[in-house]
Amino acid sequence: MKSLEIVQKFFKMFKVLSKIAMIFCIVISCIWVVGLICALFYTDITTLNKVFMVQNMNTSTLWVSCLCGMILSVTYGILSYYSYKYCEKEVNDGTPFTHEGATMIRQLAIKSIWMPIVSYIVCEIFITLYEIQYYDFEAWFSIGWILLLFLLAAIFDYGAELKEQSN
The per-residue pLDDT for 19 is: 96
Q: Distances in Å between the alpha carbon of 87 and those of 12, 37, 38, 159?
A: 7, 35, 37, 17
Q: pLDDT digit string (tens) for 48-101?
A: 555 555 556 677 777 888 898 899 999 999 999 999 999 999 999 999 999 999
**How far is the C-alpha of 161 from the C-alpha of 167, rounded, in Å?**
10
In eight-state DSSP terms, residue 55 is S
pLDDT for 44 beyond 90: no
Q: pLDDT digit string (tens) for 114-153?
A: 998 899 889 889 888 888 765 555 555 678 888 888 999 9
**145 phi/psi in degrees, rounded to 5:** -65, -45
The per-residue pLDDT for 66 is: 85
For residues 90 and 96, is the Cβ–Cβ distance under 8 A? yes
The per-residue pLDDT for 109 is: 93
Q: Structural domain boundaries of the chain?
A: 2-166
Apex 28 CA angle, 91 and 60, nearest 5? 145
**How far is the C-alpha of 71 from the C-alpha of 40, rounded, in Å?**
16
pTM: 0.84
Region at 137 (left for phi over 0; alpha for psi -120 to 50; beta for the rest): beta
Candidate from 5-14, 30-39, 40-49, 72-81 with smallest mean pLDDT:
40-49
Region at 142 (left for phi over 0; alpha for psi -120 to 50; beta for the rest): beta
CA pseudo-torsion sign 43, 45, 50, 52: positive
